Amino acid sequence: MSEKMMLFIPAYNCEKQIVRVLAQLDEEVCAWFEEILVVNNRSTDNTEKAVLDYLKEHPNPKVRLVRNDENYGLGGSQKMSFHYAVDHGYDYVCMLHGDDQGNIHDFLPMLKKGIYKDHDCVLGARFMRGSRLEGYSLFRTFGNVVYDFIFAFVTRRRIFDLGSGLNLYSTAMLKDFFFEKFPDNLMFNYVMILASHYYEHDIRFYPVSWREDDQVSNVKMASQAVRVLRMAFGYLKDHESIHQEYREAPKTSYTCQDVEEERMV
């Protein structure tokens, strides 16, 4: 494999689930990534300790644990990791959520076939033919599909998911950091979908499995639904709105600290 690829795992208050995610990193998975960055977004539970304890029992030289200097939100963690990937010369950066809803093995066939080489990004899709949902309510499924259709109308593209937890990006797409003013919260990926239309990125959706059992959702469904609608139709009215400041508290940078030394204690 000639491409240089990294995997980052954003983690927030998922001490029970993060160990299961780390267990997904078998030899076959690790062969694709030169580095695996676990990003603790200032968890208030024992997420960080769970990672350290797991790595003591299952040493993996490719895994690096870092802690955000602030709670940046999911979007902020993605921005930090995108910057890291670009700054360290990676060709591709893959994201896998740390709450064990997705499975990195779903992307292995796509990687082996080299599908990612022909697109700016490959986005895991929970609501397309070939995807598999487990424990996901019909109400939430219906709501997601409706919003997929709304964004498809706005962007004139087929949209199969506004933001699953398993995505792969070419850093060539990210190098100008067009996403800097995008939301730091869970709506980051929604604006990324709009931006893909504005900047004419080549997106490929790919079916993945998704499950819910002991995860705790951070989505405030009612308030977020209204904000997402305003965002989508605001872009439909004026495409240049993609350049606006979406963040409630703009930051000049997104930084983290290495927790590596704690593994040696």
First and final C-alpha spacing in the chain: 35
Predicted structure pTM score: 0.93
Average pLDDT over residues 129-145: 90
Q: Is the pLDDT of residue 263 over 70?
A: no
Given this model, what pLDDT does residue 264 score?
A: 45
C-beta separation of 98 from 12 below 8 A: yes
Report percent pLDDT > 90 for the chain: 87
Neighbours of 255 (CB within 10 A): 14
pLDDT band at 265 (very low <50, low <70, confident <90, very high): very low
pLDDT tens digits for range 97-112: 999 999 999 999 999 9
